[in-house]
Amino acid sequence: MPSRTDSEAAHKFGFTPGQVVQEFYYDEDVDMALRESIERVTGEELADEDFAETTDAAIIWWRSDDGDADDLTDLLTDAAANLDDGGDIWVLSPKAGRPGQVQAADVEDAATNAGMHASASVDGAKDWLAMRLVVRARGV
């Protein structure tokens, strides 16, 4: 049974049991408690960047030294390629004042260029801010 912390994470991100969540740009600085919480709530291991099947959501750990806005746009396009209709992409970036901080406007610009829009931001983890990106409906 998920703990209270797991339930709070599931509520923030909207993850539910059985969902497949693909993870991009995993590194040693990611929030392991958040990762483990997502896996406990979904009951599935996070799929890595090479996963080629349909996913329900994606999380991207993005830091300023991972690249520029064009690189993030390309990554968002890649993340959306496996995404089931209605799935979300969450971009997690270091909070203000922490190494690797990314401006929200940079994430929003990359999202727009990838055909997405930002719909929410949440306190993703101790050192990470999460921005929810939604793929625009086709024909919009």
Q: Which domains does the chain have, with CATH numbers?
A: 4-135 (3.40.50.150)
Alpha-carbon separation of residue 76 from 23, 25, 59, 92 (angstroms): 12, 12, 10, 12
pLDDT of 71 strictly over 80: yes
What tens digit of pLDDT does each residue of 97-112 get?
999 999 999 999 999 9
- Provide the pLDDT for residue 20: 97
- Provide the pLDDT for residue 125: 87
- Provide the pLDDT for residue 140: 44
Question: What does the block give as tokens for 28?
Answer: 């040693």
pTM, 2 dp = 0.90
Question: Number of H helices and number of E strands within the chain?
Answer: 4, 5
Q: What is the mean pLDDT of residues 74-101?
A: 93
CA distance 117 to 136: 7
Strands of the sheet containing 55-61, edge to edge, are 21-24, 55-61, 83-94, 128-135, 116-125
pLDDT of 1 strictly over 90: no
pLDDT of 79 strictly over 60: yes
**pLDDT above 70 covers what percent of the chain?**
89
Q: Which residue has the higher pLDDT, 78 or 85?
A: 78
